[in-house]
Structure 1
């Protein structure tokens, strides 16, 4: 890790409670050291199910440690919302990247890897490797 720059993680779900629970799980499994900044962006501003570009942008700004922001999402419209924000170009911090990874397993891998001080490419690769995890 160069200086105090660290990759931040944003977890986007259609449900605030799901996003928060996955963030809590990932941080808990990452251990007791210096954890990467993680923010949950779930649901709509009024507490309903859905996605909110405002909540996502706010979460990304809150975890921006200068080394990029990895955004993991749960379902279809969350992907579309993040892609739209990336296309606008000025709503998300520089170096924000949508990561194609399973939501729960990818989040754990991303947080663990980012917490070691790894760069954004390594965080993305670790999260994407979660597609290879087999349960049987």
Structure 2
């Protein structure tokens, strides 16, 4: 099954997003990584790389990020890791929920799960 990694500048935000997505798809490997190495606001490429390993069930990992430097550190972590992983250009909460529900299906692939996350860009909330 495709795994998901949520990367946020806040560990609490990442954990909350994973908590919400897990309500919709409890069988999917959902991992949260957030904050800098000192527990403050920020991101850390080494922690993201470890999160990739944790989220990978053997079919790859879709990575969802919140802001600019999270993207840069996630790209670096993907390059460093041996895990097959792709970044999704999606809103982090809605994209994670969409991707988790999709990944729970038996026909989900790494690319189709990323596509499901990215479909959240056009979702209307009203």
TM-score (norm 1): 0.87
Alignment check: 8 A CA contact 2:52 2:83 kept = no
Structure 1 unmatched ranges of 5 or more: 1-5
* Pairing 1:1-136 to 2, within 5 Å after superposition: 6-30=1-25, 35-86=27-78, 89=79, 91-117=80-106, 118-136=108-126
TM-score (norm 2): 0.93
How far residue 93 of structure 1 moved from its aligned partner, in angstroms, is: 3.1
Structure 2 unmatched ranges of 5 or more: none
How far residue 44 of structure 1 moved from its aligned partner, in angstroms, is: 1.4
Name the structure 2 match of 1:3: none
Alignment check: 8 A CA contact 2:5 2:64 kept = yes
How far residue 84 of structure 1 moved from its aligned partner, in angstroms, is: 2.2
Secondary structure of 1:67's counterpart equals coil
- When the two structures are aligned, how many residues end up with a matched partner? 125
Alignment check: 8 A CA contact 1:64 1:93 kept = no
Q: Which has the larger radius of gyration?
A: 1
Query: Equivalents in 2 of 1:93, 1:66: separation in Å?
Result: 11
- Cα deviation, 1:88-121, whole Å, max 9, x if unaligned, reads x3x2233211111110000001111111131111
CA RMSD of aligned residues (A): 1.2
